[in-house]
Structure 1
Amino acid sequence: MPDPLTEALLRYTQGHPGESPYMTAIEGMAILRSDHPKPPSHMISRPAMCVVAQGAKWGMFGGNRLEYRAGQALVIGVETPSIGRVVEASPGEPCLVLAFELDLAILRSVAEELDPPPKAAGEAGRGVFVTDFQGPLADCALRLVRLLDTPHAIPTLHPVIMREICYWLLTGPHGGEVARITLANGPSQRVINAMQALRSRFAESIRVEELAAIAQMSPSAFHRQFKTLTSMTPLQYQKQLRLLEARRLMISSAFNVETACFQVGYESPSQFSREYARMFGIPPKRDAKQMQAVLQRDRADSNSAALSV
């Protein structure tokens, strides 16, 4: 027998037209359903929780691969490039994931109200980890999905449930790592401030020393804590941001390879093509053509479905 969260997610996906991800009436919350294993997909992950009700996935953050399955959740505390893949799914037992954004301001507010306050992890806490999602947390997830049946109650009850989720995260087995990310002027938050500067200026040549100054750290301490939070170096982080943006420009804006290369800060098209193929497994021109063909096919399928209604 499926558990209540699995049943609720199945009912939602069966009752709503369209394809995964299903964006819900709750801002920042989506339901993902996969009837088959899927190839890896690249994305920029925002602070969020991804709760697996059925099936299994893995996420790759730099060199750190994390697998999470039914009863577990991936907690992402920092905005970072990542690769995700569905590894267990079938039409009879689809992979079902409830994903919702985490508001670090709410986490910080809840942490400040706890007595005693949560004790932050040691010098370097991870920004991404897997945790069990059972008991009170599973109950919160189920109430979030059931809340979709009463949209008029969302503005009142959604913030309450999210504060409860923050409470259980902060008081759970990974509370120290969560608390460290939320500290207003702690080392992790200062690294996140530098990370935001790197994201906004990813196409520029920016030195680690400049980022370290933003984080109020020595370059060596900044480099170490950045890698602990994201599982990649600042240079690797910037490179993945550049390649993801180049891919978006070629697919959605029809930029050619050379124009996209220069737009995101590369000076050498040959270096760009090598690093692109290393990340996505295929040269940029061929990748853009294949992805554009997929988008055109999806649009045609959507138009056919609309005409048949």
Structure 2
Amino acid sequence: MRGAACRIRQDSCTIRQDFASAAPNTSTMKSDADTQELLARLTAQFLRRTPSDGETTTIVPGLTLMRLSGPTVVQRGMLKPSFCVVAQGEKIGQAGADTTIRYSAGQFLASSINMPVAGQVLHASKARPYLAAVFELCPADVLSVLADAKIQVDATAPCCPATFVGTADARLLDVVLRSVSSLDDEREARFFAPLLRRELIYRLVTGPSAFAVAQSALQSRPDDGVGRAVEWIKTHFAQPLVIDELAKHVNMSTSSLHHKFKATVMMGPLQYQKRLRLEEARRLLLSGLADATRAAFDVGYESPSQFIREYRRLFGTSPMRDVKRMRDGARTAHLG
């Protein structure tokens, strides 16, 4: 399909995938200029509100600002359901088993489930630090906006990844800018935060990445299908996992569960359980609540030696050396 680009459109209040010819126009050029202006204003706001590297927790629950003044080492962990928009700098990482993700200024990383990821800042310096805003969002928030706006999702569409990169258009960046700017006044920030969050979601489900945002929220619902399977594994990760029993629990066939789970989570159920176990073991070790043997048993391993092998395979070194490395101050970044 030469000269065509995948596009999202909203027809008859239904979000669907479509293909249309890509033809530049003056409105697109104006939009690009608006986007660059908004990114510059966002950068100025971030620099003023992040006096040092790391995470800056704001007075608005669920809104965190990030600043990093140089490239970082790879950081592994679980990405919470969230929306992270970059104002300056670039990151590269991996979501699921082996899906590469790369995003920079004017782009965002979104996830509708707790997703195993790895990431590192590529381009950043003291003069031009990596700057980003992270908004916690859950599928219920997105589904609520879809319902209130009377926007339907094409139920016949195939599953799409629950974690993905998108482009932030000018309307979306404007909401982010107003959210950050409101932090000057605590009462104003707290009052407008719920309204701005809903507007943010509305811009996401009516913008260039509408299909991915809406579809990932729909298929990640904790009360149905893959979303229900994800929730069960998160709650019972230390227990033995039998795929046939999990499929019955979520009212799916075993083959359908495998196919849809991998399409959504970008890894199989057993891989997802293993990542949850190893991430929790790492948390226990780092907090000093357990040694390697105790952590192995606590997260469901029957063999400490198997635990150590799988821990080394994921994190690149033994559990105790990994903890020492992290405590010694290895430079890391937020997963968003």
In structure 1, which of residues 121, 124, 145 is the aligned counterpart of residue 180 of structure 2? Answer: 145
Aligned residue in 2 for 1:244? 279
Determine helix, strand or coil for the equivalent of 1:204: coil
Aligned residue in 2 for 1:36? 70
Check whether the contact 1:247–1:284 (CA below 8 A) recurs between aligned residues: yes
In structure 2, which of residues 48, 73, 84 is the aligned counterpart of residue 11 of structure 1? Answer: 48
Measured in 1, the distance between the counterparts of 2:276 and 2:43 equals: 34
Shift of 1:268: 1.5
Aligned residue in 2 for 1:216? 251
Matched pairs, number: 292
Aligned residue in 1 for 2:120? 85
Shift of 1:253: 2.1
Deviation string 1:170-227 (CA, Å, 9 cap, x unpaired) is 1223322322233389799421111111011111101112222232211111111111
Check whether the contact 2:247–2:254 (CA below 8 A) recurs between aligned residues: yes
Residue type at the aligned position of 1:78: I
In structure 1, list runs of 5 or more residues that go unmatched. Answer: 296-309
Check whether the contact 1:78–1:229 (CA below 8 A) recurs between aligned residues: no
Residue type at the aligned position of 2:174: D
- Root mean square deviation of aligned Cα: 2.1
Structure in which a larger fraction of residues adopt strand: 2
Determine helix, strand or coil for the equivalent of 1:27: coil
Alignment of 1:264 onto 2:296: no
Measured in 2, the distance between the counterparts of 1:183 and 1:256 equals: 40
Determine helix, strand or coil for the equivalent of 1:32: strand
Residue type at the aligned position of 1:161: L
Residue type at the aligned position of 1:258: T
Deviation string 1:219-273 (CA, Å, 9 cap, x unpaired) is 1111111111111111111111111111111111252211111111111222111
Check whether the contact 2:285–2:291 (CA below 8 A) recurs between aligned residues: yes
In structure 2, list runs of 5 or more residues that go unmatched. Answer: 1-36, 331-336
Measured in 2, the distance between the counterparts of 1:186 and 1:69 equals: 29
In structure 2, which of residues 188, 196, 207 is the aligned counterpart of residue 172 of structure 1? Answer: 207
Aligned residue in 1 for 2:87? 53
Structure in which a larger fraction of residues adopt helix: 1
**Cα distance, 1:93–1:185 mapped onto 2, change above 3 Å:** closer
Shift of 1:19: 4.3
Measured in 2, the distance between the counterparts of 1:278 and 1:56 equals: 27
Deviation string 1:116-157 (CA, Å, 9 cap, x unpaired) is 534357121221111111210000110111111111012321
Shift of 1:10: 0.7
Greater displacement, 32-41 / 265-274: 265-274
TM (norm. structure 1) is 0.88
Measured in 2, the distance between the counterparts of 1:185 and 1:70 equals: 27
